[in-house]
Amino acid sequence: MMIRRVALLPLLVLLAAMTSLSASAQAGSDLKVQVTNGTPGGGPIAGLPITIYSTAGGQQLVAGAGRTDTQGAFSWTGAVGQVGASYVVSTTYAGVAYNSGTVTLPAPPVVLRVYETTSDDTNIRVVSAGLVIANVDAPTQRIQALESATFANSGNRTYLPTATGARGPMGLLRFGLPDGAGNLTTMGQLSASNVIQVDTGFSSDMPLPPGNTDVSYAYEIAYGALSDGGFAQLNKALPYGADNFRLLAATGDFNIESPQLASDGSVVVGSRTYRQYSAKSLPANTQLSVDLINLPLIQPALRPGNPWLQVSIGILLLAAAALPFIYRRRYMHNALAEPQTEGDSTREIRAARRVRVPPIEKEPGV
């Protein structure tokens, strides 16, 4: 047994050395990129621009660039020795940008899959959508809402929205918004696209490659006041429907009513508890209806924007401005009612000056 152990020791050392050499070789190798066309019938793409971005410090800076060869391959020598460094590989094909995930060295070859494009949205649907009522602000009577959606493209071409085709503006990627929504804020990939806001929502030219794409956006909506509290209607269109729809509302005293959504208990997200409502298999062009009832209000007389309060303040300001004129008019009226000439006053003053007070006579014996 001792001889066998001694004989195995050199082999173990050799294996460890080979493993170390292999890792060193991998760490010192180039960053290899392979571009493939995912649309059937598409072959290797030569001369495609490749850009390597460094993600150091939380910023994307260009670290290298080049073009693919006749086989759609590219090798970047700037990766040699950059163990632990992180990069993102990007290319543009047929007007659409394609990016890899974050690549940390050493890494296997990066495969970038590109596609031919189409303006037909037949294969586009929303697999999941969510509406979050994040905050209800009583002083301003405004609701802050956040929406998200996961689009699925089941085809083998990238859907490239356009308003110049036969469908006009309907050829863009469409999103519904409640009536009166404002302060729209787009996020992520949506923020990098061109957004056109219209009365019933907004549209975007953001491309959707095959697979799933997540989008999110936020907005505000004002709510009105009734005798028993605030009230708002979050009625909006779902152009692509939704396989699964979920509404989350921060806990509060207001009520939520919707003919399409069913109460689904509560859920904790982070440190906050939300009421949950859900629906399944909503068809395209569904008109979602959500009523928010008994929303919080501050004291009506002090509510900002209260028209009666504004009228009252206006009346007070006018009254304050008119006071000097009222007093001046009253003073002039009194002066005219009791006239007194300058000559009469002068004679009275002179007569008063001529009056002499007789001396006080002392009584005898005092």
Range of the domain at 258: 124-302
Name the least confident of 186-195, 289-298, 300-309: 300-309
**What total number of domains does the chain contain?**
2
Residue 182, domain member (yes or no)? yes
Confidence of residue 10 (pLDDT cuts 50, 70, 90): very low
Residue 21, domain member (yes or no)? no
User: Does 288 lie in the same domain as 148?
Assistant: yes
Q: Which carries the bigger pLDDT value, residue 280 or residue 80?
A: 280
Q: What is the pLDDT of residues 160-218, one digit of tens each?
A: 999 988 888 899 999 999 998 999 999 989 999 999 988 789 999 999 999 999 999 99
Quote the CA–CA distance of 34 and 133 in Å, as a whole number: 44
- The C-alpha angle with vertex 105 and arms to 99 and 108, in degrees rounded to 5, equals 70
Above 50 in pLDDT, residue 8? no
Residue 357, domain member (yes or no)? no
User: Does 35 lie in the same domain as 169?
Assistant: no
Cis peptide bond N-terminal to 106, omega within 30 = yes
Q: Which phi and psi angles does 133 have, rounded to 5°?
A: -85, 95
User: Does 161 lie in the same domain as 141?
Assistant: yes
Above 50 in pLDDT, residue 24? no
- The C-alpha angle with vertex 124 and arms to 120 and 127, in degrees rounded to 5, equals 175
| pLDDT in the model for residue 243 | 97
Mean pLDDT throughout 32-41?
A: 94
Among 92, 114, 136, give the residue marking a domain's end. 114
Above 80 in pLDDT, residue 364? no
User: Does 259 lie in the same domain as 143?
Assistant: yes
Helix, strand and coil percent figures for the chain, each rounded to 5: 25, 40, 35
User: Does 128 lie in the same domain as 193?
Assistant: yes
- The C-alpha angle with vertex 216 and arms to 264 and 287, in degrees rounded to 5, equals 60
Mean pLDDT throughout 25-38?
A: 76
Confidence of residue 66 (pLDDT cuts 50, 70, 90): very high
| pLDDT in the model for residue 331 | 55
Among 114, 144, 167, give the residue marking a domain's end. 114
Task: Tell me if 251 sits within 8 A of 296, measured CB to CB.
Answer: no
Contacts of 256-262 with CB under 8 Å at 24 or more apart are 256/290, 256/291, 256/292, 256/293, 257/290, 257/291, 257/293, 258/288, 258/289, 258/290, 258/291, 259/289, 260/286, 260/288, 260/289, 261/290
Which residues touch 171 (CB under 8 Å, ≥6 apart)?
A: 119, 121, 161, 162, 163, 164, 165
Confidence of residue 21 (pLDDT cuts 50, 70, 90): very low
| pLDDT in the model for residue 17 | 39
Quote the CA–CA distance of 351 and 344 in Å, as a whole number: 11
| pLDDT in the model for residue 226 | 78
Region for 112 from its dihedrals, namely left if φ exceeds 0, alpha if ψ lies in -120 to 50, beta otherwise: beta
User: Does 278 lie in the same domain as 150?
Assistant: yes
CB-neighbour burial class of residue 97 (10 A; exposed 0-12, middle 13-18, buried 19+): middle
Residue 351, domain member (yes or no)? no
Task: Tell me if 247 sits within 8 A of 130, measured CB to CB.
Answer: yes
Q: CATH code at 31?
A: 2.60.40.1120
Q: What is the pTM of this model?
A: 0.72
Q: What is the pLDDT of residues 96-155, one digit of tens each?
A: 999 999 998 888 999 999 999 999 999 999 999 999 999 999 999 999 999 999 999 999
Among 273, 302, 331, give the residue marking a domain's end. 302
Residue 338, domain member (yes or no)? no
User: Does 107 lie in the same domain as 160?
Assistant: no
User: Does 283 lie in the same domain as 179?
Assistant: yes
Confidence of residue 314 (pLDDT cuts 50, 70, 90): low
Q: Which carries the bigger pLDDT value, residue 3 or residue 200?
A: 200
pLDDT > 70: what percent of the chain? 73
Element at 145 (helix H, strand E):
strand 142-153
| pLDDT in the model for residue 166 | 85
User: Does 221 lie in the same domain as 86?
Assistant: no
Q: CATH code at 231?
A: 2.60.40
Residue 80, domain member (yes or no)? yes
Q: Which carries the bigger pLDDT value, residue 154 or residue 341?
A: 154
User: Does 282 lie in the same domain as 161?
Assistant: yes
Residue 264, domain member (yes or no)? yes
Quote the CA–CA distance of 331 and 266 in Å, as a whole number: 72
| pLDDT in the model for residue 297 | 87
Name the least confident of 5-9, 192-196, 242-246: 5-9
User: Does 162 lie in the same domain as 183?
Assistant: yes
User: Does 209 lie in the same domain as 105?
Assistant: no
Terminal alpha carbon distance of the chain: 153
Which residues touch 45 (CB under 8 Å, ≥6 apart)?
A: 35, 37, 68, 72, 93, 114
Residue 1, domain member (yes or no)? no
Quote the CA–CA distance of 242 and 126 in Å, as a whole number: 5
Q: Which carries the bigger pLDDT value, residue 158 or residue 44?
A: 158
* Mean pLDDT across the chain: 81
